[in-house]
Amino acid sequence: MITFSIVTPAWNSERFIAETIESVISQKGDFAIQYIIIDNASSDSTLEIANRYKDLIECGSYPVHCNKVSMQTVSEKDEGMYEALNKGFRNAKGDIFAWINSDDIYLPGAFDIVARTFRKYAEILWLKGITSYINDSSTVYKTGKCNLYDSDWIKKGVYGRDLYFIQQDSVFFRSSLCAISGNFNPGLKLAGDYALWISFAKTATLNSLKAYISCFRVTDNQLSKNVDGYAREMKQIAPKRDIICKAISAYFRFEAYIPAILRPCVFRLLFGNRRYCIVTIDRNHEPNLRSCSFYQARGL
């Protein structure tokens, strides 16, 4: 049986954390969930809310729709999100790891799709689903896309600097990959995920999952608003940008001006016949792994 270990770092998160918690513990399917909340000594009711759900689960009053749900809460001062995540993953016992921030949510059915994929394909160590975007009232205002990722380009630090991000809220990985890559750097405050992806890409291929998995909440005063700070940390992590990074950035800026029939040829000419791994879901909710070119994948 697959067990998910999900970690949520939290600090003064009373406004949205109940919705985050419910999106984890209400998942349905053939798996177990270990949910760990690491609270940075919040001064609001964050810990009380988390412990209320923990108590409901332990006394059997919360409806569980998977094989098992367990919940742990830790509340103590830490130096930031990545120290909190290190604490959480040190206590993680599951097969599949992920983390979700205290204002984001998983969509119904997300864990079932992810579990089916990891169960069917032992070679997949790392998986990235589709992230959509919600506002303060939990309304989806932007539907996400199934982006494709090249391992060489991840290692060069392309994604997030020259191309779209690898959004953390829809990423799942096997515990074995985490063991190889080590902990987060607690000295980072914003771009620890960027550093982790570069480390992962040295060992494993990131597979794209064409399924809606999570929603990232855009609010005022959140860490992700600090774009300049994130960019500075990215430059510390991957200081060198070679000619391919500049070519990638230029190509995708001008792609819309290239006739559609010529785009695959131009892409191959610039970057070679690169292959991408994408998992699609059929009408029976079964995952199917495919290897395809960039433009073939767009048509799936």
Q: Provide the b/e sequence for 162-185 (b: ≥16 CB within 10 Å).
A: bbebbbbbbbbbbbebbeebeebb
- Per residue in 42-88, pLDDT (tens digit) is 999 999 999 999 999 999 999 999 999 999 999 999 888 999 999 99
**Does 39 have pLDDT greater than 90?**
yes
Domain residues for 190? 3-298
Tens of pLDDT, residues 99-117: 999 999 999 999 999 999 9
CB 173 within 8 A of CB 96: yes
Provide the pLDDT for residue 223.
63
Residue 298 has pLDDT above 80, yes or no: no
CA distance 80 to 72: 19
pLDDT at 267: 93
- Sign of torsion, CA 72 77 81 86? negative
Task: Answer yes or no: is pLDDT of 225 > 80.
Answer: no
Q: Which among 104, 124, 77, 79 is positioned nearest to 7, based on CA atoms?
A: 104
What are the pLDDT digits (tens) for 233-251?
Answer: 999 998 777 888 889 989 9
Residue 299 has pLDDT above 90, yes or no: no
Task: Give the pLDDT mean for 153-180.
Answer: 93
| Domain of residue 230, CATH code | 3.90.550.10
- % of the chain exceeding 70 in pLDDT: 98
Confidence of residue 221 (pLDDT cuts 50, 70, 90): low
Alpha-helix residue ranges (DSSP H) falling in 26-143: 46-58, 81-90, 110-120
The pairing of strands 207-217 and 126-134 is parallel
Cβ atoms 61, 71 nearer than 8 A: no
What pTM, to 2 d.p., does this model score? 0.95
- Domain count for the chain, please give it: 1
